[in-house]
């Protein structure tokens, strides 16, 4: 089970890993916390009044398309997008939005889903949300809460028989080591690197390279990832930053997607190359 804040996050974070496991016969369920109702139209080709007016419906349709490409199951948790506050000082979040929920209460819908789907492995974001969007940070809090509550018979007893997932991971999308490797490979190919400015700003950004415990080889599924990402047409410009680096360069420079093992109830040896390390072949009952 992969828990994400908005539709499109499942395609920009860990999507090649998802596609790899689906191809191997693993059932994968994406839990999407919000509908992306307050998201911006980030593709200039679709920046039109009719798109803005129907953004919620359009983003649901985009999620349907991405779901089919990735071969996943998907469920909406029903929370309302918080939007990304901008300004100095930052404005307050909208009343009732996901970012203002009490995690101990908001974990309920995810607990229900965990007990119904019965995942062995759960992935989400770290305590910083991957980046400091209020919905991403709340997604982290709710997932951690639900991971612990799903197997506790005293928590949410009305939400079905308990089920305890065995491993919890945080996605590590762009570590400094990865950006440096991509940058060097691009320059070595005689191309202009889109990461030049990233590296200049890196001193202000925490380096998550040391937190990586698990590198999943999935380079052959990078094209599936990109197809799923392009399905979210309002959020991604097909001629934009995400697609500037040639596929073969990406596959050579960094052929894995990376995760931090945050919680494990099974024995495993680090570093790992499989999210199911220690789980495969283990008889399991609650």
The residue behind tokens 């065995």 is 166
Dihedral sign (CA 54, 52, 63, 112): negative
DSSP of 24-61: TT---EEEEEE--TT-----GGG-SHHHHHTHHHHHHH
User: What are the backbone dihedrals phi and psi of residue 75, each rounded to the nearest 5 degrees, phi first?
Assistant: -135, 145
| Residue 232 in marked binding region | no
226 within 8 A of 179, measured Cβ to Cβ: no
What three-state secondary structure class fits 192? coil
| Residue 133 in marked binding region | no
Shortest CA distance to 155 belongs to which of 94, 105, 193, 200?
105
Secondary element (H or E) of residue 65: helix 55-70
Which two structure tokens, joined as six digits, stand for 172? 């590590």
DSSP state of 91: P
| Residue 183 in marked binding region | no
What three-state secondary structure class fits 168? strand
Shortest CA distance to 253 belongs to which of 203, 188, 201, 194?
188
Q: How far apart are CA 131 and CA 95, in angstroms?
A: 22
Strands 256-264 and 214-217 come out as: antiparallel
219 within 8 A of 273, measured Cβ to Cβ: no
- Residues belonging to the binding site are 6, 9, 136
- Residues belonging to the binding site for Zn(2+) are 6, 9, 136
């Amino acid at each position: 089970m992969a828990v994400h804040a908005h539709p499109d996050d499942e395609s920009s974070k860990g999507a090649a890993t998802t596609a790899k496991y689906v191809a191997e016969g693993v059932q994968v369920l994406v839990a999407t916390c919000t509908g992306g109702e307050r998201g911006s139209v980030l593709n200039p080709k679709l920046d039109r009044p009719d798109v803005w007016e129907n953004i919620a419906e359009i983003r649901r349709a985009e999620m349907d398309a991405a779901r089919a490409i990735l071969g996943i199951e998907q469920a909406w948790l029903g929370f309302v997008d918080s939007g990304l506050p901008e300004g100095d000082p930052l404005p307050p979040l909208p009343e009732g939005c996901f970012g203002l929920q009490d995690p101990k209460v908001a974990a309920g819908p995810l607990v229900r889903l965990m007990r119904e789907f019965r995942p062995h492995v759960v992935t989400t974001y770290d305590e910083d949300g991957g980046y400091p969007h209020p919905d991403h940070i709340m997604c982290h809090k709710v997932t951690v809460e639900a991971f612990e509550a799903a197997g506790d018979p005293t928590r949410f007893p009305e939400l079905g028989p308990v089920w305890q997932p065995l491993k919890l991971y945080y996605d590590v999308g762009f570590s400094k080591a990865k950006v440096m490797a991509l940058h060097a490979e691009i320059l070595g190919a005689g191309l202009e690197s889109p990461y030049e400015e990233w590296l200049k700003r890196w001193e202000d950004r925490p380096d998550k390279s040391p937190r990586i415990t698990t590198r999943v080889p999935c380079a052959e599924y990078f094209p599936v990832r990109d197809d799923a990402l392009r399905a979210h047409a309002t959020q991604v410009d097909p001629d934009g930053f995400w697609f500037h680096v040639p596929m073969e360069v990406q596959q050579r420079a960094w052929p894995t997607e990376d995760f931090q093992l945050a919680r494990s109830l099974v024995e495993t040896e680090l570093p790992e190359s499989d999210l199911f390390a220690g789980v495969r072949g283990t008889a399991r009952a609650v």
